Each structure stands twice: as C-alpha cells, then as structure tokens.
Amino acid sequence: MAEAIRRFVPDGSTVALGLALESVIPFAAGHEMIRQGRRELELVGPISDALFDQLIGAGCVRRVTAAWVGNVSEGLGHCYRRACEERVPRSLEVHDHSNFSISLALWAAAWNVPSLPARTLLGSDILRTNPGLVASEGLVQVAAVRPDVAIVHVQRCDEMGRAHTWGPMGITEEAGLAAGRVIITCEELVAAEVILSDPNRILLPETKVVAVVPEPGGAHPSPVQGYFKRDHALYRDYAEQSRSVDGYLAWLEQWVMGVPDRETYLQRLDINPLRVSQHRMSEPVDYGFE
Amino acid sequence: MASSSYTPQELMVAVAAREIQDGDLVFVGMRLPMLAYAVARSAHAPSARGLFEVGLMRDQPAEGFLGTMGDPPNVVGALWATRMSNVMALMAQGSVDLGFIGGAEVDRFGNLNTSYVGEPAHPTVKLPGSGGGADIAILSRRWVTLMSHERRRLVDRVSFITSPGYGDGTPHWRKRNGLLGGGPVAIITTLSVLRFPELGGEAYLASVHPGHTVEEVRAETGWDLKLADDVSETPAPTESELSAIRRFDPEGFWTRSA
C-alpha cells in the first residue's frame, strides 16, 4: 500500500474515492495518504462517508468536488465544517455537485467530451457556486471532471488488476474510466482463472489499473458485501471525537499516525464480530459456447 | 404497549409512510425514510418499489438493520443492483412517483438548504451538501421532506437553495425554470404536517401532532404560517405501524435518540 500511494498519488493529485457511496470505501488507502503527508489534493466523490472528513482534517486537501461531505449515519463532518468555516487546518475550495451531476461529470471525462447536458440542478443555487455547471436552454451543461487517479476497494482481484465486485456500484465505473489510472485494493488476491471465469463481473479494464494491493479489511469501518459488516459504532465514536480539533488529533494519532499499516490497525480492533459468517453464494452462470 | 407511547421520530416515520401510495416507485433516501418505506411496504403499500441512489431497486424491505442504504442487508433480495446513473435514468424519465429528502432548512415555498448558512464564500455553517437531494427535488413527480420543527430551520426564505421547491413562490415557477417534477407535497416535522396548494406555492399548516398546539407550531415557524381551513390533529401511529417501526429499528438507532 505504501508503495502504491507513494508512486501513484503524488502531492497535488486529483483523487476519486468512496465511489460506491457508503460501502467499500478505501479507508486503508486514505489513511496511508495521511501518513505520507500528502498535500494539495483534490478529492472527487459522490456522498462521501467520513474518509473525506478525515483527509480534510489532516490537511491533505485543497479542493473537494463532491455531492456531500459528512458522516452518513451521524450527520455533519466536523473537520469539513472547520475547514470551510474557520480555515482549520487550512482553507478548502468546494465545487458542489449533486450525486447525478458528479456522475455525469465523470461520464463526460470518460467519453472525452467537454461536458454533458442534464435535466438536474435547474433552479438550484449549486449553479452559483460551481463554475463547472452552467444552465443553458433548459438544460445544465455539466463540465467533465477528470481524476488523476481513482482508488477502488473490491472483493477480489487478480494480479493483472481484473477486479470482481458485487453490490451497488454508485459511480465507480465512470470514475475508473475517467481517471488516468486506477489503484485496486482488495479483500482477496485470486488466480486469473477465477476472475476470467466470469468476465461480466469485471469492474474496469485492466489497462487502467496500475496497482493491485491485497488489503483485507481495507474498507473498515465501511462494509464489504460477503466479507465485512458496517461498524456503525465506530462512525459514532469518530463523530464524537472529531467534534474538537484536539479530539480529532487524538483520533488521528490513535488510528492513523500511530499505526504503521492496516494489519496492525485491524489487530487493535475487535474485528471478528464484524466479519460476515453466514455466506450467501449466487448461482454460477454458464459461458459455454459449443 | 399503548399507542400513546411513541417518540416524535416514530410519529414522523408513520406519517411519512402514509405518503407512500400502493404501486409507487419511491426514491427512498436515508434515515427516517428508510424506515417509512419499510413500514409502508409491510402495511398499505405492498406493491411499492424502492430505489436507492447507491444503485439498488427493491420491493421487500431489507431483513437486517440499515445504518445506510449501502449496507449489505439492502443488497440481499434486491430487484436490481447497478450503478447510480442507471437509477438516475429512471428519475430523469419521470418514473419516480415519490422522493424523500432530508433537510437542514426549509422555507415557506418548500426550498431546501443543505449547503451553506451564510455566504457560500464565508459560511457560518457548512452543511454536508446536496447528495441526491437536488436531483430528487427537481426530477421526482412529488417529494416530501422531514425535519425537526425549529424556528431556525423553518425560515422565511433560505439563503441558499440546494434542492428547489417552488422557488420564489410565483405561479408556475418550476415550469418556467424547466424543472421536470411536480415539487414538494409535504413537510413533516416533529410538531406538525405542512402541505402545499395543488399548483404549488406557499406551505400551510395541515395538521398538528397530538400534544401540540397551533400556537406552538406558529411560534416555531420563521414566517407567518397560513392555516388550512380545517387544521386537524395528525393521527397517532397505530399499533401495527409502531410494531413495524420497531421491527426495522430494533435498537432505536433512528427513532429513539435525539
């Protein structure tokens, strides 16, 4: 993980993450960005749950281009508020979107066009605060948003970067296609034969993927279908602790700066009750051709 | 348990559930509306379907507790697990009958602010943003919002319209501005239910929750609230509504905390 972040997420990058909304959020990758002291990042996402707030509090972020920043089950993002209201720990530029418009902005970049027209955001003041959204002739032109890198956590992947995911995808596909490169973090590294037995389930083309990081539990506290439940209590604890700068810094020391890697992080949690134990396998499909 | 014993959130969920008609395609959203959908589906709207912007369609409510719409129990038994833009496609076609939106501030014309209190460049409070709220407000056929009834939340005019209701309240504001959907039909609060005239415009007080008064509601509303000709008492949650709510929120995560 440390190498993937060092090589492919330099200071100043535009980084898309948290793309499936509340599940499979690449928290381990985000925490590594904080540990390495990344600066001047632009974060791109839809509804972003807690990870954006953590990166903002650590001073990594220059701009947010997203539909929502906070703590989904708890409400406000306290670091996000402090950055916008008090410039603590630094000022933050916000390019507001709705969920629909950020999706279209990424599809525009994926299809290599300057913008796409939409029927949403007419009559909304979001048009006033985001220069990339312009009303014209009864439609809104949504300007392309092109991330340098998208970071995606998945259930399983092979070493060539062919990832299998299941569950709702949010804006993962358009972000991956729009991004210059993709980092995959995964619960399990599996043989190519496993992945290629079901090509319809492959999330993104291998040509986009520059790094595959096996990182079991790398999405905690967000859930991973078939692997981990959501750690609701941790979101509540984070909301409480991050209410003050001192509380946030104590949280940061305990769970990010004072932890060398995800394996150690997981050892410090009571992680086993969060592991999925009752599996529900789908029926295989038949790719036969003769 | 007597039906006189319920929390304000449980009443709001029951009232929200009654807004769902059988056969509706509902854009469900987060928090209390997730419960409202589950209650409606197990009572008066057995053929409703729910859409979730993460990229899900379901009929039966999820079997397990949901802290968010993206929790794994919401995927099991789904009718469709897909990408967000596919779900938005249905809404852009006018196929979503009812949407739910949470709000921090609402005004007399049903406009919601979930973005900025104060000047956007120097906000006194930075709120989380639209999420899918603006999309639902603009594209669903009708929508409902739920919020705590406080003078600072129900304001004369919001300073920032994240999710448009009836704009400046002039006739046909939505149509003139090209908004596809019909607009808000109800504001469900901790004290009351506000509704809108058939063609939109200014909210009026339709019913007051048991134990509260018209005077209290007006005092907690930041504009001179109009009254329906026949302001009624909001029917309390029934035993079956309460038992459904408690089945889907057994720990009271959504309905028994502040």
Q: ipTM, 2 decimals?
A: 0.96
Closest CB from B75, B130, B167 relative to A225:
B75
Count of structural domains, chain B: 1
Note whether residue B60 is domain-resident: yes
Model confidence at B2: pLDDT above 90: no
Note whether residue A33 is domain-resident: yes
The CATH code of the domain that includes B56 is 3.40.1080.10
Domain range enclosing B202: 8-248
Note whether residue A279 is domain-resident: no
pLDDT of B3 reads: 53
Domain range enclosing A181: 2-111+147-155+164-264
Which of B25-39, B133-147, B180-194 is least confident?
B25-39
Q: Residues A216-242: pLDDT tens digits? A: 999 999 999 999 999 999 999 999 999
Q: Testing the interface with B: which of A53, A63, A99 to mutate, by most B Cβ within 10 A?
A: A99
Closest CB from B130, B167, B180 relative to A96:
B130
Note whether residue A290 is domain-resident: no
- In sequence order, what are the residues at sequence separation of 6 or more whose Cβ sits closer than 8 angstroms to the Cβ of residue A197? A287
Q: Testing the interface with A: which of B31, B54, B116 to mutate, by most A Cβ within 10 A?
A: B54
Note whether residue A13 is domain-resident: yes
| Mean pLDDT calculated for residue range B133-148 | 97
Full pLDDT tens readout for chain A, 290 residues: 999 999 999 999 999 999 999 999 999 999 999 999 999 999 999 999 999 999 999 999 999 999 999 999 999 999 999 999 999 999 999 999 999 999 999 999 999 999 999 999 999 999 999 999 999 999 999 999 999 999 999 999 999 999 999 999 999 999 999 999 999 999 999 999 999 999 999 999 999 999 999 999 999 999 999 999 999 999 999 999 999 999 999 999 999 999 999 999 999 999 999 999 999 999 999 999 99
Task: Provide the 8-state DSSP code for A256.
Answer: I
Count of structural domains, chain A: 1
| B154: phi then psi, degrees, rounded to nearest 5 | -100, 95
Model confidence at B252: pLDDT above 60: yes
Q: Residues A6-29: pLDDT tens digits? A: 999 999 999 999 999 999 999 999
Is B81's CB within 8 Å of A166's CB? yes
Is A84's CB within 8 Å of B70's CB? no
| Mean pLDDT calculated for residue range B85-89 | 98
Note whether residue B56 is domain-resident: yes
Alpha helices in chain A (DSSP H): 2-8, 27-35, 51-57, 78-86, 99-110, 126-129, 172-178, 192-196, 232-241, 245-252, 262-267
* Residue B14 C-alpha, separation from nearest chain A C-alpha, in angstroms: 20
Note whether residue A205 is domain-resident: yes
The CATH code of the domain that includes A98 is 3.40.1080.10
Model confidence at B258: pLDDT above 60: no
Six-digit token pair at B161? 């319209």
Residues of B annotated as catalytic are 53
Model confidence at B1: pLDDT above 50: no
Residues of A in contact with B131 (CB under 8 A): 46-47, 67-68, 98-99
Note whether residue A282 is domain-resident: no
Question: Which residues, numbered 72 to 111 in chain B, qualify as contacts with chain A under a Cβ-Cβ cut-off of 8 Å?
Answer: 72, 75-76, 81-85, 88, 91-92
Give which of B143, B9, B29 is closest to B87, Cα–Cα: B29
Q: Residues B64-78: pLDDT tens digits? A: 889 999 999 999 999
Note whether residue B258 is domain-resident: no
Note whether residue A86 is domain-resident: yes
